[in-house]
Amino acid sequence: MPPGGAIWLGVTALKFVSTRGAAPALDLADVTLAGLARDGGLYVPAEWPVFSSAQITAMAGLSYADLAVEVMMPFVGDTIARDDFSGLVRSAYASFDHRAVTPLRQSGPDEWVLELFHGPTLAFKDCALQLLGPLFDHLLQRDGSRVTIVGATSGDTGSAAIEACRDRDALDIFILYPHGRVSEIQRRQMTTVESTNVHCLAVAGTFDDCQALVKAMFDDTAFRDRHRLSAVNSINWTRIMAQVVYYFHAALALGAPGRAVAFSVPTGNFGDIFAGYVAAKMGLPIASLCIATNRNDILARFMADGVYQVHEVMPTVSPSMDIQVSSNFERLLFDLMGRDGAAVTALMSDLRTSGRFSVSENVLTQARGLFSTGTVGEEETLAVIAQEWRETGVLVDPHTAVGIGAGRRHRQDGVPLVHLATAHPAKFPEAVERATGVRPALPARLADLTTRAERFDVLANDLGAVEAYVSDRARAA
C-alpha cells in the first residue's frame, strides 16, 4: 500500500451494465463469473471512475503489483476485501519472469517498446489471465461451486487461459481453436498441458467460426445454465480491467500525469486497445491510441468511412489479429452512442443480418478524437522486424511489428510513443527468421515444448457436436 493508505477512497463497488441495455446490473464478482451478459451484450462499468491528477501522481514509483491494486480498486470496491485482492494480484504477477513485470525498453528517440510478454505463455494475455484464474477460484470458493469455462482462441488466449485455469478443481476449461490455423508453438502450448480439467478442441473452421460457436453456446440458455458456462476471452470485463494497469505503468514511467503519452496497439478483438481507452477515461493523459491492424483491417476501414463491413478473414504472419468481427468494439460503440443500449442492439442486429452496420458522422468524429489507425501488410511487417533487428539489435514478433509500423506513421514531436509488444518473438519463429535470418530461441523453461506429447480432438464446425462434447466432460451441473 502506498504511504498514507489507499489512493482510491470510494468504498462501495461500481455496478456494471450491459452494452445492449437489457440485462441486470451486476457487481464485479458476478460480472467476472458471467462473462457475456444475458442479453448478448458486454458488461461495462455504469460510470467511469476518474483519478485526479494528484492521485495519479501518488502512483508514481509503485511496483507493478501495488499499482495494479490501486488502479483496479475502484472496480473491486467492497466486493472483495482489499487484502484478499492484493494477495491475488501479488501472486498473479509473481509468475512473470521479469522483475518489472512489463518493462519499458527504449527503441529510439522518444520511442519505447512496452514488453508485455514476460508471463508463463509469452504473450500479453498472461497479464490479465494470470489474475483472472485465481480470481475465479477465489470467488467460487465462496459458494463451493464449479463453472465450465468455454473460450475461442486465435492462438494466444487459449494457452494463456489454460495456464491460468489448469489444475483448479472449481474449473473445467474447453478451448476452441481453428484447426491448422494456429502456429505449432501456440498449439503445443495448449495441447501439451497434462491437466485433466483442460480440453482442447480443434474446430474445422476459422477463428470467427470458433467465436461464433462460443457465442451460440452462451445464447443457448438451457445449456449455459446446466453447465454454468463462463468466459475468459476478452469479452470478460475483468481482463480489460487488468490490462488498464500497464497503460498506467508505462505512462507513469514516462512522466504522466505531467506529460501525455501516445500508444500504438496491435489490435484484433479490440480488448487491449479498449483498455487504453479506459485508462484515458480514468484520467490518464493519453495523447492518442493507434489501432494497428494487419490486412484484416475492418477497424481501419470503419474509422475511414464509418461503415463496419465484414470481409473474409485472410491468414497473415500475425495470426492473433486475423479477425474480422472485433467483439470489444461494441464497448466503444456503447460509449460513443451515449450509452444507448437499444441503439447498440440495433447495430448488432444489422451486423448479424447483413454483415455490416454504419454509424453517424458524430460518432465517427468522437472516435477520431482519440484513435488513429494504421494497416500494415505482410511485406511491411517483415521489413519492420528486419529494421528493428538491424537498428536496435532486438528481435520483435510480427504482431509487435504491425504496431511499430502503424504507430510510427502518427508520431508527434515531443510526445513519447509507446509500442505495445504483445508476444515474445519465439512464439512466431518462422516469420522472425524469414525477416532476419535469425531464429529466436524459446526461454529455457519451454525448451522441450516441441517434443512433449499432445492431446486434442478435431470437431466439425457444428454447434450440436461441440455442445455434446462439452456435456460429456464438464463437471459443473
Q: List interacting residues with ligand PLP (CB under 6 A).
A: 123, 125, 156, 234, 266-272, 320-321, 399, 422-423
CB of 368 to ligand PLP, least distance (A): 19
Spatial distance between the Cα atoms of 277 and 272, rounded to a whole number of angstroms: 9
Q: Judged by CB, which is closer to ligand PLP: 89, or 123? A: 123
CB of 430 to ligand PLP, least distance (A): 15
CB of 369 to ligand PLP, least distance (A): 20
CA-closest candidate to residue 161, choices 193, 208, 207:
193
- Across the strands, what pairs with 176? 152, 201
CB of 302 to ligand PLP, least distance (A): 14
Please state the φ and ψ torsions of residue 169, each to the nearest 5 degrees.
Answer: -65, -25
Q: Judged by CB, which is closer to ligand PLP: 77, or 276? A: 276
Please state the φ and ψ torsions of residue 333, each to the nearest 5 degrees.
Answer: -55, -45
Q: Judged by CB, which is closer to ligand PLP: 134, or 398? A: 398
Q: Judged by CB, which is closer to ligand PLP: 163, or 272? A: 272
Please say if 125 is a catalytic residue.
yes
CB distance 403 to 420 below 8 Å = yes
CB of 283 to ligand PLP, least distance (A): 22
CA-closest candidate to residue 431, choices 396, 388, 391:
396
CB distance 287 to 262 below 8 Å = yes
CB of 112 to ligand PLP, least distance (A): 17
Q: Judged by CB, which is closer to ligand PLP: 20, or 399? A: 399
Contacts for 84 with CB less than 8 Å, ≥ 6 apart? 138
CB of 42 to ligand PLP, least distance (A): 13
Spatial distance between the Cα atoms of 154 and 311, rounded to a whole number of angstroms: 17
Spatial distance between the Cα atoms of 278 and 262, rounded to a whole number of angstroms: 14
- Peptide bond just before 2 cis, omega within 30 deg: no
Q: Are strands 307-309 and 229-230 parallel, antiparallel or unpaired?
A: unpaired
Radius of gyration of the chain (CA): 21
Q: Judged by CB, which is closer to ligand PLP: 287, or 323? A: 323
Q: Judged by CB, which is closer to ligand PLP: 80, or 200? A: 200
Question: Residue 19 to residues 240, 241, 323, 333, 424: CA-CA distances in angstroms?
Answer: 15, 16, 21, 9, 34
Spatial distance between the Cα atoms of 357 and 78, rounded to a whole number of angstroms: 39
Q: What is the DSSP letter of 349?
A: H
Q: Judged by CB, which is closer to ligand PLP: 45, or 266? A: 266
CA-closest candidate to residue 49, choices 5, 87, 86, 11:
11
Spatial distance between the Cα atoms of 240 and 79, rounded to a whole number of angstroms: 18
Q: Judged by CB, which is closer to ligand PLP: 332, or 417? A: 332
CB distance 149 to 232 below 8 Å = yes
Instruction: Work out whether the CA dihedral 443, 448, 454, 459 comes out positive or negative.
Output: positive
Question: Cell for 81?
Answer: 476485501
CB of 8 to ligand PLP, least distance (A): 25
CB of 272 to ligand PLP, least distance (A): 4
Find the catalytic residue in 15, 125, 281, 427: 125
Convert 64-76 into a string of H (helix), E (strand) and C (coil): HHHHHHHHHHHHH
Question: Residue 77 to residues 10, 27, 35, 74: CA-CA distances in angstroms?
Answer: 7, 9, 19, 5
Catalytic residues: 125
